[in-house]
Amino acid sequence: MQTSPVTPEQLNSSVIAVPPLARDAKLKINRGENGKIIRHIEAGGVATLLYGGNANFYHIAPSEYAEALEIISTESAENTLIVPSVGPAYGTMMDQITTLRNFNFPTVMVLPMQGLTTDTGVANGFRKFVETLGQPAVLYIKFEGYLEPETVAQLVNEGLVSWIKYAIVRNDPAKDDYLSRLVEVVDPRLIVSGIGEQPAITHLTRFQINGFTSGCVCIRPDLSQKMLTAINNGQLDIAETIRKTFHPLENLRNEINPIRVLHEAVASTGIGMTGPALPLMSSLDPSDAVRVKKCTEELSKSDF
């Protein structure tokens, strides 16, 4: 696992995979299956993995947090960047610092809390977490009203932010007043598109931000990485063709649930047996699982 600080160049060189966290039938974190998932992603040329929402770190037990960090850090290759998450509750993230100090992750992402927050309160909480941990963290902007762009800029200027995952969903990603303002007050090289392949071309070309995260990359890391390379090389026709290849599975994720569909998709392809969903979520209904399997089979066979 990489232990050196994250650079803007690194954010732009690899898709940031956001994988599920595999568990066994008793909901215990499964070292072997998580290792398989990590190695599949690495084999496709992707060198950055972010364990957040798709891994359901929102509901991870404090008693298993150290085990999760140990598994994802030791099952990865020497040069792979692994980014775990903390929170989303303030008390949870502060308590998790003790565990994080036993590892050498170069950064960690603060999961966003929805509701029960204010702009000033989120900034103060993020600041307190980073100052206590002693290293910059990833700021995850997922909801409108969570943090104002000017507040984000203040945190960046204080040296508290490693990079920013921007993931506010728009009907038209080209029309985004918040992101337009954000890239005016924050270096776009610190911002990555956080909603998968579908808005990535627009985000990286129109707003000049610096990479993208993806869940579907877990199925075809090679294809997603080719898309990032094509965008960086200005080959937008190639990038658009690849984007459309991921579209059917992303549509199912949007229709049913992004986390639950990806959990099933990774298992249905045999990449890694992800096991049952961790409560407070649940596994897919059998009829939906069939639809996911069909999509993942088509994506797996796609030749570009």
The pLDDT tens digits of the residues spanning 74-118 come to 999 999 999 999 999 999 999 999 999 999 999 999 999 999 999
User: What pLDDT, on a 0 to 100 scale, did the predictor assign at position 195?
Assistant: 98
pLDDT at residue 61, rounded to an integer: 98
Give residue 155's pLDDT.
99
Return the closest-CA partner of residue 71 out of 39, 97, 95, 111. 39
pTM for this one? 0.98
Beta strands in 186-299 (DSSP E): 191-193, 213-214
Overall size of the chain counted in residues: 304
Domains along the chain with CATH numbers: 8-245 (3.20.20.70)
Please write the tens of the pLDDT for every residue from 42-85.
Answer: 999 999 999 999 999 999 999 999 999 999 999 999 999 999 99
Amino acid 92: pLDDT:
99
**In 56-136, at which residue ranges do the beta strands (DSSP E only) sit?**
81-83, 85-86, 109-110
- pLDDT value for 98: 99
How confident is the model at residue 6, as a pLDDT? 98
Instruction: Look at residue 121 in the predicted model and tell me its pLDDT.
Output: 99
Q: Which amino acid is at 1?
A: M
Please write the tens of the pLDDT for every residue from 290-303: 999 999 999 999 98
With a cut of 70, which residues of the chain have pLDDT below it?
Answer: none
DSSP letter at 277? P
